[in-house]
Amino acid sequence: MSQLEPLIADLALILICAGVMTLLFKSLKQPIVLGYIVAGFLASPNMPYMPSVTDGHGVHVWSEIGVIFLLFALGLEFSFKKILKMGAAPIIAAVAIILSMMYVGACTGELFGWSQMDCIFLGGMLAMSSTTIIFKAFDDMGLRKERFAGLVLSVLIIEDILAIVLMVMLSTLAVSKEFEGSQMLQSILTLGLYLVLWFTVGLYFIPMALRKLKPLMNDETLLITSLALCFGMVVAASAAGFSAAFGAFVMGSILAETVEAEKIEHLVAPVKNLFGAIFFVSVGMMVDVNLIVEYIVPILCLIAAIMLGQTILSTCGFLLSGQSLKTSMRCSFSLTQIGEFAFILATLGTSLHVTSDFLYPIVVAVSVFTTFTTPYMIRLAEPAYNAVSRVLPAKWIAKLERNTDEDDGKAPSELQQIWSENFRKFIFILLINSVLCLAVMSIMYYFGQPIIASLLPEKWVRPVTALIGLAICGPFLWMLLRGGGESPEIDKLWASGPRWRVRLTACALLRLFITAVFVSYFVDYAIPWSSWLAIFAIVIVMMIIYYSSHLEKRSNEMVQNFTDNLSAREKLKEEQKHQ
């Protein structure tokens, strides 16, 4: 009789416990995530009266795959255009909430004498509310269409994005073992450059490839292709020094802008549910009752810190973003829990061996309690507002309850609107094309030059490398030099007086300078010219770029393709509405 592999037996135990607990929690109308955590506790060695998992390493690998799928699915629900349409209010509120709650968490850890890393990671865990729990609570209570609910969900989207950034920063901090401002700034800039590069290249090529391969795509091939792209980006992110979860989120965000996004989300859902369940079960396996009893005082203090911190500091954050007092309190009372990202950050700290063993079960215990109290806190918001409104002076209440939808200032003039729109477009062109040029330069230096060196004599290696790099960068350099700089709106600004001419001239000079920097790199790399010859060569190359109709045509085609890819999903939805 063949012997069953321990990993298969463990999977059977995990799924049996998870199945029973999810049915039980579903019948009790409680979040299924809690059922997974309880199932993990039952299947762990910490539960002496039940069969337990024997291959902990195998379960850990599965749980890491679960994190990848959870972040990939989160990316599929994310949209750049949604963020742009939200306005500044959710961004201001989210940043204020995260910074204040991170400070509260770090200070709470310091009160108990925990290590600096424990305090920093704890602050990150307490700063992230649970999207899943809040979404389900709003759904069950019939609040999804309320204005404050929409604002809360917008803030949660921003928090999820900032959580990805926080993961990268904490990973860097954990590796360096010390907080260095310059190193952290370098990590953030590197993160920004990679994000711009990946999203730009991904949104240009992937939707186009999926359209051409559509005749070959059925459910099976689309699922396999999507997962291949996901794990390909996971490998690329890891090679670049970022976390696997970050790469999965990036690819999910890219695919979210394609017309197949909803279908991919539907196909990936069962796989995500399976491995996500294993991840949350693995979280429950970390629960140790003895540690919880030993650290019951810190657990209660952290629960109090979340309840008071979110209700008070988050209210201030929403007020700072321009919301009324009542809306701010309803929003803040909805955020009084921690969830998925707290577990992911706890897993990150454990895998990097920078956090103490007791932190994980403490966070799980806090999360379980705050999850149960979420619906009650949402209901408590209005009575709390009524109590506060009776205590505060009437003048304060009137000021805090101002109509935030009214425009208190003067409407911007037509010229100011034209300038704002074109300036945003100008910054976007500079950022995207500069990053693309930097990427081409890096690729040619690290990969292109060795290949060319194996094919040509040494004296031709650098000139040919520079020439190929310059040819590839040609459309990007044309966009840097001329893209978006000629239009009726620009002409109108130029004709409107010296105030606008100075601004437009400054933008043109900045374009000229950045383009000259890139061109001078290629010229100098090809042949170390003397100063006058180098300047002459740079001027000639820039004139060729400026007047090249071929580069103009290629640039316009690339911009049009990118714009079409970005708006393809919205166009499809509009067509479906009219049918």
pLDDT tens digits along 193-218: 777 788 888 888 888 888 888 888 88
Query: In terms of pLDDT, which residue wins out, 244 or 399?
Result: 244
Buried b (16+ CB within 10 A) or exposed e, 166-205: bbbbbbbbbeeeeeeeeeeeebeeebebbbbbbbbebbbe
Whether residue 187 is predicted with pLDDT greater than 70 in this model: the reply is no
Eight-class DSSP state of 216 = G
The pLDDT value recorded for residue 136 is 67
CA–CA separation, 445 and 449 (whole Å): 5
For the CA atoms of 187, 191, 192, 195, what is the dihedral angle to 10 degrees? 170
Helices within 392-413 (DSSP H only): 394-400
The answer to whether the CB of 287 falls within 8 A of the CB of 39 is no
The pLDDT value recorded for residue 9 is 85
Q: What are the backbone dihedrals phi and psi of residue 385, each rounded to the nearest 5 degrees, phi first?
A: -65, -45
At 225, the pLDDT band (50, 70, 90 cuts) reads very high
DSSP, collapsed to helix, strand or coil, labels residue 26 as helix
The mean per-residue pLDDT over the stretch 560-577 comes to: 74
The mean per-residue pLDDT over the stretch 179-194 comes to: 66
The pLDDT value recorded for residue 468 is 92
The 3 state secondary structure assigned to 305-362 is HHHHHHHHHHHHHHHHCCCCHHHHHHHHHHCCCCCHHHHHHHHHHHHCCCCCCCHHHH
% of the chain at pLDDT higher than 90: 7
DSSP, collapsed to helix, strand or coil, labels residue 259 as coil
CA–CA separation, 93 and 323 (whole Å): 10
At 230, the pLDDT band (50, 70, 90 cuts) reads very high
What size, in residues, is the chain? 579
CA–CA separation, 329 and 385 (whole Å): 7
Whether residue 471 is predicted with pLDDT greater than 60 in this model: the reply is yes
Whether residue 231 is predicted with pLDDT greater than 90 in this model: the reply is yes
E-strand spans in 207-256?
A: none
What distance separates the 2 farthest-apart alpha carbons in the chain? 91
What tens digit of pLDDT does each residue of 47-87 get? 777 788 887 777 878 888 888 888 888 788 776 666 666 66
The pLDDT value recorded for residue 531 is 64
At 224, the pLDDT band (50, 70, 90 cuts) reads very high
The mean per-residue pLDDT over the stretch 326-331 comes to: 88
CA–CA separation, 316 and 224 (whole Å): 46
The pLDDT value recorded for residue 478 is 92
What tens digit of pLDDT does each residue of 358-392 get? 888 888 888 878 877 888 888 888 888 888 888 87
Whether residue 124 is predicted with pLDDT greater than 80 in this model: the reply is yes
Eight-class DSSP state of 184 = H
The answer to whether the CB of 335 falls within 8 A of the CB of 318 is no
The answer to whether the CB of 81 falls within 8 A of the CB of 154 is no
The mean per-residue pLDDT over the stretch 261-290 comes to: 85
The answer to whether the CB of 38 falls within 8 A of the CB of 46 is no
Q: At what angle do helices 32-43 and 261-285 cross, to 10 degrees?
A: 40
The mean per-residue pLDDT over the stretch 479-507 comes to: 82
At 529, the pLDDT band (50, 70, 90 cuts) reads low
Whether residue 179 is predicted with pLDDT greater than 60 in this model: the reply is no
CA–CA separation, 579 and 569 (whole Å): 16
Eight-class DSSP state of 188 = H
The pLDDT value recorded for residue 86 is 60
What tens digit of pLDDT does each residue of 390-407 get? 887 777 777 766 644 444
Buried b (16+ CB within 10 A) or exposed e, 229-262: bbbebbeebeeeebbbbbbbbbbbbbbbbbbbbe
